[in-house]
Structure 1
Amino acid sequence: MEKLQVGRAKLTWLSGGVNFLDGGAMFGVVPKALWSKKYPHNEKNQIELRTDPILLQIDNKNYLIDTGMGNNKLNEKLLRNFGVLEESYLESSLANLGLTVDDIDAVLMTHLHFDHACGLTRPEGDTYESVFKNATIYTSAVEWNEMKNPNIRSVNTYWKMNWEPIVDQVETFDTELEITEGLKMVHTGGHSDGHCILTFTDGEEYFIHMADLMPTHAHQNKLWALAYDDYPVTSVHEKEKWMNKGYKKEAWYTFYHDSYFRAIKFNQEGNKVDEVARERYEYK
């Protein structure tokens, strides 16, 4: 498991699953001749995307950024359509650190699409139960409302089995919420109407988790938005704003989906000056 220390914050990447999605969809209107130079693809034009939660430990508290693909929740059709080759090993990842799901104090949900939220619940008999029973689950009010009342487009990714068991654990916010000193969730919109990023500041140390505004290192270009984005123009403007802020502070940028890098640090010119590479392995 890869780790990164940023001031008081210790980040550890857990194993939450992997899927393969169409590269064109992940890079929107960007021609393949351009994006394929930045990120590998297979013979089906699919790119490898992790769904790895980040354990964030600050001041003896255990926070989890998103929850991975979950287990035994996708039928054969969904597994095939979403190119899922591996489901979650989150609990065994935590066990390797001497932790269990009951040790998680809060879950910080950037948004509630299935590939981020399936790990919130698990099958229990004929129904589903919460995985992180002792945790407060934070998400934006806009995202939570759409999760419970999806529209004709979002109904395909906001699923009742991912929210009904956790209703009593959820706390929402409108614009910005400070979780603990230096750690904030910020509503951006763009990828989804309620999409959020996370920022952490401790003295001169700084990281930004852009979530699906910048799902991989290959999405650094401020104009490269996903075809999956509900509001791509908002994504571009928010991305420009937070890339500029991060560059000025020479911030670390952390990734949930990237199969090649866990985090990259950019200088004021936007050039890479440090990295945390992901250990690669082959899927059976």
Structure 2
Amino acid sequence: MEKLQIGRANLTWLSGGVNFLDGGAMFGVVPKALWAKKYPHNDRNQIELRTDPILLQIDGKNFIIDSGMGNDKLTDKQLRNFGVLEQSLVEESLQKAGLTVEDIDSVIMTHLHFDHACGLTKKVGDSYASIFKNATIYASAVEWNEMRNPNIRSKNTYWEMNWKPIVNQVETFEKEIEIVPGLKLIHTSGHSDGHCILTFEDGEDCFIHMADIMPTHAHQNKLWALAYDDYPVTSVHEKEKWMDFGYKRKAWYTFYHDAYYRAVKFDASGEKIDEIERLRYEYK
């Protein structure tokens, strides 16, 4: 498991699953001739994407950023269509870190699409139960409302089995919330209406978790938005804002979906100056 210390924050990447999605969808209107230079693809034009939560430990508290793909939540058709090759090993990853799901104080949800939220619950008999029973689950009020009342488009990703068991654990906010000193969850919209990013500042140390408005290192270009984005123009403007913010601070940018890098640091001009690569292995 890859680790990174940024000021008071210790980050450890857990194993939450892997899937393969169409590269064109992940890069929107960007021509393949351009995005293929930045991110590998297979012979079916699919790119590898992780769904790996980050264990974030600050001031004696254990947080998790998003929850992974979960286990036994998807039908055979969904597994095939979403290219899921591996489901969640979050509990096993936590065990390696000397923790259990009961030790998690908060789960910080950037948004509640199935590939981020399926790891919040598990099947127990004919129903579902919360996995992180002792945790406060943070999400924006807009996202939580749409999760429970999806529209014709979003009903394909906001699922009742992922929200009903946790309804008493969720704490919502409007614009931003400071979870511990320096750690803020900020509503951006863009990828989804309720999408959020996470920022942490501790003196000169800083990281920004852009979630799905910059899902991989190859999405650094401010104009490269996903075809999956509900509000792509908002994604572009928010990415511009937060890339400028981070460049000035030489911030680390951390990733949930990137199959090649866990984190990348840029200088004031946007040039990469440091990186944490993901340890890779071949899938059978």
Structure 1 residue 88, shift from structure 2 partner: 0.4
Which residue does 1:198 correspond to in 2? 198
Structure 1 residue 204, shift from structure 2 partner: 0.2
Does residue 283 of structure 2 align to residue 283 of structure 1?
yes
Question: In 2, Cα distance between the equivalents of 1:283 and 1:234?
Answer: 36
Which residue does 2:218 correspond to in 1? 218
Q: Look up the equivalent residue of 2:238 and give its one-letter code.
A: E
Q: Look up the equivalent residue of 1:271 and give its one-letter code.
A: E
Which residue does 1:122 correspond to in 2? 122
State the TM-score, normalized to the length of structure 2.
Answer: 1.00
Q: Deviations over 1:193-213 (max 9, x none)?
A: 000000000000000000000
Question: In 2, Cα distance between the equivalents of 1:125 and 1:237?
Answer: 45
Q: Deviations over 1:60-118 (max 9, x none)?
A: 10000000000011110000000000000000000001100000000000000000000
How do 1:176-191 residues align onto structure 2 when only pairs under 5 Å count? 176-191=176-191
Which residue does 2:55 correspond to in 1? 55
Which residue does 1:229 correspond to in 2? 229
Which residue does 2:104 correspond to in 1? 104
Does residue 66 of structure 2 align to residue 66 of structure 1?
yes
Structure 1 residue 283, shift from structure 2 partner: 1.1
Does residue 85 of structure 2 align to residue 85 of structure 1?
yes
Question: In 2, Cα distance between the equivalents of 1:53 and 1:253?
Answer: 14
Q: Look up the equivalent residue of 1:18 and give its one-letter code.
A: V
After superposition, the CA RMSD in angstroms is 0.3
- Matched position secondary structure for 2:167: helix
Question: In 1, Cα distance between the equivalents of 2:25 and 2:34?
Answer: 14
Question: In 1, Cα distance between the equivalents of 2:167 and 2:283?
Answer: 35
- Matched position secondary structure for 1:168: coil
- Matched position secondary structure for 2:20: strand
Does residue 172 of structure 2 align to residue 172 of structure 1?
yes
Does residue 278 of structure 2 align to residue 267 of structure 1?
no
Does residue 243 of structure 2 align to residue 246 of structure 1?
no
- Matched position secondary structure for 1:163: helix
Question: In 2, Cα distance between the equivalents of 1:283 and 1:157?
Answer: 26
Q: Look up the equivalent residue of 1:143 and give its one-letter code.
A: E
Which residue does 1:16 correspond to in 2? 16
Which residue does 2:6 correspond to in 1? 6
Structure 1 residue 137, shift from structure 2 partner: 0.2
Question: In 2, Cα distance between the equivalents of 1:162 and 1:81?
Answer: 19
Q: Look up the equivalent residue of 2:126 and give its one-letter code.
A: D
- Matched position secondary structure for 1:143: helix
Q: Deviations over 1:30-87 (max 9, x none)?
A: 0000000000000000000000000000011000000000001111000000000000
Q: Look up the equivalent residue of 2:264 and give its one-letter code.
A: I
How do 1:150-161 residues align onto structure 2 when only pairs under 5 Å count? 150-161=150-161
Q: Which runs of structure 1 show a deviation greater than 2 angstroms over 4 or more consecutive aligned residues? A: none
Unaligned runs of 5+ in 2: none
Structure 1 residue 249, shift from structure 2 partner: 0.5
Q: Look up the equivalent residue of 1:135 and give its one-letter code.
A: A
Structure 1 residue 244, shift from structure 2 partner: 0.3
Question: In 2, Cα distance between the equivalents of 1:283 and 1:166?
Answer: 33
Question: In 2, Cα distance between the equivalents of 1:250 and 1:87?
Answer: 34
Structure 1 residue 239, shift from structure 2 partner: 0.3
Question: In 1, Cα distance between the equivalents of 2:207 and 2:279?
Answer: 21
Q: Look up the equivalent residue of 2:180 and give its one-letter code.
A: T
Does residue 133 of structure 2 align to residue 133 of structure 1?
yes
Q: Look up the equivalent residue of 1:244 and give its one-letter code.
A: D
Question: In 2, Cα distance between the equivalents of 1:194 and 1:239?
Answer: 15
Unaligned runs of 5+ in 1: none
